[in-house]
């Protein structure tokens, strides 16, 4: 199971939606959490059809720039516990493991003078449920100066309040791989701000349930925040499980799709019953999968390779500058 969390800075921008679609199709998360959606609930909830995630809860108050949304796959049983401006708190019923655990998705208070209200909110949530607990999102605060790569340092009191809140809740940082910051305002010189604001934290009980957890900072050009990808299990190296072939609407962007379908269908005999139709459809889908690997997939792979190269170059240059 994987979880994608992202401060997307607007879920209504066309290119941002395209980027979100790419992230979901690449990493296949079971949960997608968005903050700063900046759109009303109706618009945000429509994204579930694009992302292929059936369920969604969203919260946005008119006139405010924030907004939260959580999407999840229909194979996951989720119970909504609490939703508001700053959090979406759910209980996940993990059938394969036979346990239930808690996941709180957060968007921290961006106004420093009101930060104490967010820390109080998290503290008050601790006694509610005594089950394994994971917390993911943009906390809008660093834990220490080592997470700040800017000329202007973070406030010591704010960082101390953050650390004390996590300690009170018995939550521990899960670490990460990737560039050391998650927020970059992309300004030049002394005005540039790079800091680790987005993270995943969990209690020891959750880490014991998922000892192979893995947190990655992804790269995206569509926001000043990095998406977070949290993997709960290691990828298996054994025999791959059977994957159902499905039609991908990305194929429709290729001009050769219609010709390929017509040529493929012409290869099969005219169906006379439902069995013949099923056989022809199965063969046509296998052919489309092969066609996709030679056309669509090659383009996607090249883009992904360039993204990784950009990430390596950016990280290496910025760390040594």
The per-residue pLDDT for 202 is 96
Give the per-residue pLDDT at 290: 73
| Weakly modelled stretches of the chain, pLDDT under 50 | 238-244
Q: 2-231 falls under which CATH superfamily?
A: Endonuclease/exonuclease/phosphatase (3.60.10.10)
> Which token pair is 33?
């959490």
Pairwise CA distance, residues 93 & 81, whole Å: 13
* Residue 99 pLDDT: 84
* Residue spans per domain, the chain: 2-231, 245-321
In 3-state terms the chain splits into helix, strand, coil percentages (rounded to 5) of 40, 25, 40
For the entire predicted model, the pTM comes to 0.76
- Is residue 32 within a helix (H) or strand (E), and if so which, with residue range? strand 31-35
């Amino acid at each position: 199971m994987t979880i994608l969390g992202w401060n997307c800075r607007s879920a209504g921008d066309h290119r941002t939606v395209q980027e979100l679609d790419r992230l979901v199709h690449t990493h296949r998360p079971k949960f997608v959490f968005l903050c700063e959606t900046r759109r009303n609930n109706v618009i945000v909830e429509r994204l579930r059809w694009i992302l292929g995630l059936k369920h969604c809860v969203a919260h946005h108050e008119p006139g405010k720039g924030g907004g939260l949304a959580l999407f999840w796959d229909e194979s996951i049983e989720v119970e909504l516990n609490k939703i508001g401006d700053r959090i979406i708190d759910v209980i996940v019923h993990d059938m394969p493991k036979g346990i239930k655990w808690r996941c709180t998705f957060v968007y921290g208070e961006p106004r420093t003078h009101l930060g104490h209200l967010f820390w109080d909110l998290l503290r008050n949530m601790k006694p509610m449920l005594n089950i394994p607990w994971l917390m993911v999102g943009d906390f809008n605060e660093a834990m220490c100066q080592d997470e700040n790569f800017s000329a202007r340092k973070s406030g010591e009191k704010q960082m101390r309040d953050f650390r004390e809140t996590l300690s009170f809740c018995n939550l521990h940082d899960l670490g990460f791989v990737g560039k050391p910051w998650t927020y970059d305002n992309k300004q030049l010189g002394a005005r540039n701000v790079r800091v680790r604001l987005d993270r995943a934290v969990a209690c020891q009980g959750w880490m014991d349930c998922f000892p192979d957890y893995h947190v990655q900072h992804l790269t995206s050009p569509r926001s000043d925040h990095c998406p977070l990808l949290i993997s709960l299990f290691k990828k298996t190296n054994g025999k791959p499980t059977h994957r159902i072939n499905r039609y991908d609407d990305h194929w429709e962007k290729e001009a050769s799709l219609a010709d390929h379908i017509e040529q493929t269908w012409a290869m099969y005999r005219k169906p006379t019953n439902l069995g013949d139709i099923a056989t022809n459809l199965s063969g046509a889908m296998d052919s489309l999968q092969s066609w996709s690997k030679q056309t669509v997939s090659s383009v996607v792979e090249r883009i992904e390779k360039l993204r990784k190269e950009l990430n390596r170059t950016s990280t290496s240059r910025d760390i040594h500058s």
